[in-house]
């Protein structure tokens, strides 16, 4: 037995159980509070844990329960966790504390107003794509890039990092068409019309679109009333080869997995929930500069000094939660 095998064997494991828990895209594991793994590892409810099975690893949020619904040797998985781990009932699932997320130090620097270089942004995006970021971690990053919008160098680095973690498609055509709009406009469904016109004109246009985020129906939802949109890459290729174009749901082909994750997040403002338009959005949801200034937190220790001079309560990154760690 190698050192690696011995280390893996030492990690406590439980039997996988499909619990039928639908938590959208969140990986959740339920365990008995008095189970041997929770007791020996010192795990508590809402801890981040690393689940391993069959060479696959995922990060999940732990919830604990009492009673006999679960056996002491069972780990109940949400549907998302079950899908990602690809386990069968009774398969051993190793459970341990999730390791620290190194890229969170970059997020913390960004909260303090520092610009991020290419390697720092790559580290963040790779961790997001790997499922290491909880909604709280991701909200911290989105907030930092919304308060201090990305500069041109950060936009380029972010775009390249998001492309690198996704799958890429190539098409045997000299010209491949695409279109995009700002999104979020109810009733604005030009994509199916544009794709149909260009494909009928002999051009190649393999179009991916999103489902609804804040509106009643997204472009993919609208197109689904006419044709299936949950196409995988082979099916997408067959349609394009036959028709010259397509409109498919982008989440089914994993071209930009981080974009799909980011789209599920929302930023909370004083007026309620608002869509910030994505990472580093330069779009403002307020009407004038005075209102913008009142909503945007101050950056760095300057905010702390202003709060002390004014005697009032203001946001200060000096008081950021402990989960952000030390930069």
Q: Is residue 307 part of a domain?
A: no
Mean pLDDT on 260-272: 55
Sign of the CA dihedral running 234, 238, 240, 246? negative
Q: Distance between CA atoms of 303 and 147, rounded to whole angstroms?
A: 13
pLDDT at 322: 33
Q: Which of 46, 81, 97 is the last residue of a domain?
A: 97
pLDDT at 187: 66
The model carries a pTM of 0.67
Condensed to tens digits (0 to 9), the pLDDT of residues 158-187 reads 999 999 998 888 888 899 999 887 766 666
Condensed to tens digits (0 to 9), the pLDDT of residues 58-81 reads 999 999 999 999 999 999 999 999
Checking if the pLDDT of 229 tops 80, the result is: yes
Q: In the predicted model, what is the mean pLDDT of the chain?
A: 78
Co-location of 113 and 217 in the same domain: no
Condensed to tens digits (0 to 9), the pLDDT of residues 196-227 reads 999 999 999 999 988 876 666 788 888 999 99
Q: Is residue 306 part of a domain?
A: no
**Unique residue bearing structure tokens 């997408």:** 236
pLDDT at 315: 34
pLDDT at 303: 37
CB-based contact 93:13 (threshold 8 Å): yes
Co-location of 283 and 178 in the same domain: yes
Domain boundaries, position 272: 169-293
Co-location of 21 and 112 in the same domain: no
Condensed to tens digits (0 to 9), the pLDDT of residues 127-164 reads 999 888 888 889 899 999 988 999 999 999 999 999 99
Co-location of 73 and 106 in the same domain: no
Q: Is residue 327 part of a domain?
A: no
Q: Distance between CA atoms of 288 and 74, rounded to whole angstroms?
A: 55
Helix (H, G, I), strand (E, B) or coil at 130: coil
Contacts of 162 (CB under 8 A, 6+ apart): 125, 256, 258, 259
| Structural domain total, the chain | 3
pLDDT cut 70: percent of the chain above it: 75
* CATH number reported for the structural domain that contains residue 135 in this entry: 1.20.970.10
Co-location of 78 and 123 in the same domain: no
pLDDT at 11: 72
* CATH number reported for the structural domain that contains residue 90 in this entry: 2.40.40.20
Q: Is residue 117 part of a domain?
A: yes
pLDDT at 185: 67
pLDDT at 308: 38
Co-location of 273 and 177 in the same domain: yes
Checking if the pLDDT of 100 tops 60, the result is: yes
Q: Distance between CA atoms of 152 and 144, rounded to whole angstroms?
A: 16
Co-location of 277 and 214 in the same domain: yes
């Amino acid at each position: 037995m190698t050192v690696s095998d011995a280390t893996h064997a030492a990690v406590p494991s439980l039997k996988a159980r499909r619990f039928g828990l639908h938590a959208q895209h969140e990986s959740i594991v339920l365990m008995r509070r008095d189970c041997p793994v929770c007791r020996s590892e010192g795990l508590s409810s809402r801890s981040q844990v690393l689940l391993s099975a069959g060479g696959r690893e995922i990060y999940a949020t732990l919830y604990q329960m009492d009673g006999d619904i679960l056996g002491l040797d069972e780990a109940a998985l949400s549907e998302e966790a079950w899908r990602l781990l690809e386990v069968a009932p009774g398969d051993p699932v190793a459970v341990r504390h999730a390791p620290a997320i190194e890229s969170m130090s970059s997020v913390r620097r960004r909260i303090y107003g520092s610009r991020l270089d290419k390697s720092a942004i790559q580290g963040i995006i790779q961790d997001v794509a790997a499922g290491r970021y909880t909604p709280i971690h991701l909200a911290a990053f989105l907030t930092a890039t919304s308060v201090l919008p990305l500069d041109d160098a950060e936009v380029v680095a972010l775009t390249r990092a998001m492309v690198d973690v996704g799958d890429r498609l190539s098409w045997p055509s000299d010209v491949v068409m695409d279109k995009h709009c700002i999104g979020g406009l109810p009733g604005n469904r030009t994509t199916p019309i544009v794709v149909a016109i260009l494909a009928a004109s002999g051009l190649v246009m393999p179009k991916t679109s999103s489902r609804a985020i804040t509106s009643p129906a997204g472009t993919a939802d609208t197109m689904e009333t006419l044709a299936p949109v949950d196409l995988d890459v082979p099916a997408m290729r067959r349609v394009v080869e036959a028709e010259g174009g397509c409109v498919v749901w982008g989440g089914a082909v994993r071209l930009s997995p981080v974009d799909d994750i980011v789209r599920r997040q929302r930023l909370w403002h004083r007026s309620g929930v608002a869509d910030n338009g994505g990472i580093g959005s330069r779009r403002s949801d307020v009407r004038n500069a005075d209102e913008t200034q009142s909503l945007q937190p101050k950056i760095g220790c300057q905010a702390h000094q202003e709060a002390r001079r004014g005697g009032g309560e203001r946001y200060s990154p000096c008081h950021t939660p402990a989960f952000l760690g030390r930069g």
